[in-house]
Amino acid sequence: MQKYLPVELLYFRIVATPSLLMSMMYTIGAILRGTGDTKTPMRVGIWMNIVHIVLDYILIFGVFFEGFGIQGAALASVIARLFGVLLLMRHLFVQGLISDKLSEWKMKIEVIKDLVKLGIPASMERLFMRLDKLFILG
């Protein structure tokens, strides 16, 4: 006998695994905004949402095939996030903000200290925001 999962759990299982993509989008978007480029994350977000809407329709309801329902919605979310990360990464490389040569990657202790000083409070804020959602929704 086959056991059926609640749709929320099914959606969560598909979306949760590649949630690293969402973290990467937030991080790269913050890097770009920190360098003064606020338009690129906004443009990428718009394109990502367009792709998400189109894929939602195609994968949920099906076009030339039977739709996947809730699994299609989850898959559309994952693909749209991957698309957003790829666009942001491409922008970082094209603008020269990141080098693809490992020999150019050098750690500067002053920069690391500044990042930790800024990062710890920001990460704690995010942690408490997530815990708050967990308690409210849980």
Q: Does 42 share its domain with 91?
A: yes
Examine the domain organization and report whether 90 and 33 are in the same domain. yes
The two structure tokens encoding residue 52: 């998400």
Q: Does residue 19 lie within any of the structural domains?
A: yes
Both 18 and 77 in a single domain? yes
Q: Do both 81 and 31 map to the same domain? A: yes
Whole-angstrom distance, CA of residue 126 vs CA of residue 120: 10
Q: Which residues contact 72 (CB under 8 A, 6 or more apart)?
A: 56, 58, 59, 60, 61, 62
In Å, how far are 8, 15, 50 from 72, measured between CA atoms?
A: 13, 11, 16
Q: Is the pTM of this model over 0.85?
A: no
Q: Tell me the pLDDT tens digit for each residue of 59-81.
A: 999 988 999 999 999 999 999 99
* Mean pLDDT along residues 14-30: 87
Looking up tokens 């480029």, which residue turns up?
37
**pLDDT tens digit sequence for 112-127:** 888 788 888 888 888 8
State yes or no: pLDDT of 1 exceeds 60. Answer: no
> Which has more pLDDT, 12 or 40?
40
Q: How far apart are CA 72 and CA 61, in angstroms?
A: 8
Structural domain contains residue 2:
no
What range does the domain containing 137 cover?
A: 107-138
31-40, 52-61, 89-98, 101-110 — which is least confidently predicted?
A: 101-110
Looking at the structure, tell me whether residues 16 and 70 fall in a common domain: yes
Total of domains in the chain: 2
